[in-house]
Amino acid sequence: MAVSVAAGPAGRVCRKPGFSPGRYDARAMQDNASAPFLKTAWILAGLGLTALLAWDYAGLDLAVIRPWADASGFPWREHWLTRDVFHQGGRALAGVVIAFMLVLNLWRGLLPAMTRRERLWWLGTSVVCLLLIPLLKRQSLTSCPWDLNEFGGLATYVSHWRFGVADGGPGHCFPSGHASSAFAFFAGFFALRRAYPRAAKAFLVALLLCGLGYGWAQMARGAHYASHTMWTAWICWTLTTLSCRLLLKPRSAEA
């Protein structure tokens, strides 16, 4: 904790406690990982899981994606808007956010009210999310919509919940890796909300808009079902909430 020095009675030096942006302070962390906030975050995760399970049970993926395709494939697959702006542009924007987080950890003058622990946690949690989603995709037997025989491919539709059952296609399509270009950075909302609450809310809205935009573009291209994007959002949110509880919430002895 930083201190300010002032002259006291009889020439004694008095030290006044204060907050230092570059060092961890348990009282500062309480705002980031307070019990009410974490409770709300867990409730949202629970509601999201319920909605996703209902979506999958109802088999809505095919119903939602069919208007974007025909027997010859997906007309929007190579469209400049979905391919260049939302797909390639989304990747580039994610690179910009990663670069920003690196600079944030190297230059304390950028967002000076943030603590060192908040900066490192934001970076570390985001990186874990960015690595986890492709790892899950690599293990998945679910093929992309453009691989279905209904849309000119070879695969048959098999729910991603039928573990170990191949659909005849190349697989490796669940969950959505591209959506993680936005949702993997949920930690920024958690990390910013203490010192910069308005910026935190704006950042969260931007992430949601980008993630939904990426999800729509990938669905229109035939690269992912809608649920693939929603599952990526749920995984990243839940992992970020758990990470906040374990790594940002101060120990009782520090609080």
This prediction's pTM: 0.85
Domains of the chain: total: 1
- Asked if the model's pLDDT at residue 4 lies above 50, the reply is no
In the beta sheet, which residues pair with residue 73?
Answer: 70
Q: What is the mean pLDDT of residues 137-142?
A: 94
pLDDT given for residue 35 in this prediction: 85
Residue 192 above 60 pLDDT?
yes
Fill in the DSSP letter of residue 133.
H
Convert the pLDDT of each residue in 52-102 to its tens digit: 999 999 999 999 999 999 989 999 999 999 999 999 999 999 999 999 999
Q: Indicate whether 255 belongs to any domain.
A: no
Identify whether 8 is part of a domain: no
Residue 206: inside a domain: yes
Contact 52, 234 (CB under 8 A): yes
Distance between CA atoms of residues 29 and 243, nearest Å: 13
Residue 196: Cβ within 10 Å count: 15
pLDDT at 23: 43
CA 219 to CA 229: how far, in whole Å? 9
The SS3 call for residue 7 is: strand
Range of the domain at 148: 27-248
Average pLDDT over residues 120-135: 97
Whether 4 is covered by a domain: the verdict is no
Q: Give domain status of residue 210, yes or no.
A: yes
Tell me whether residue 11 is in a domain: no
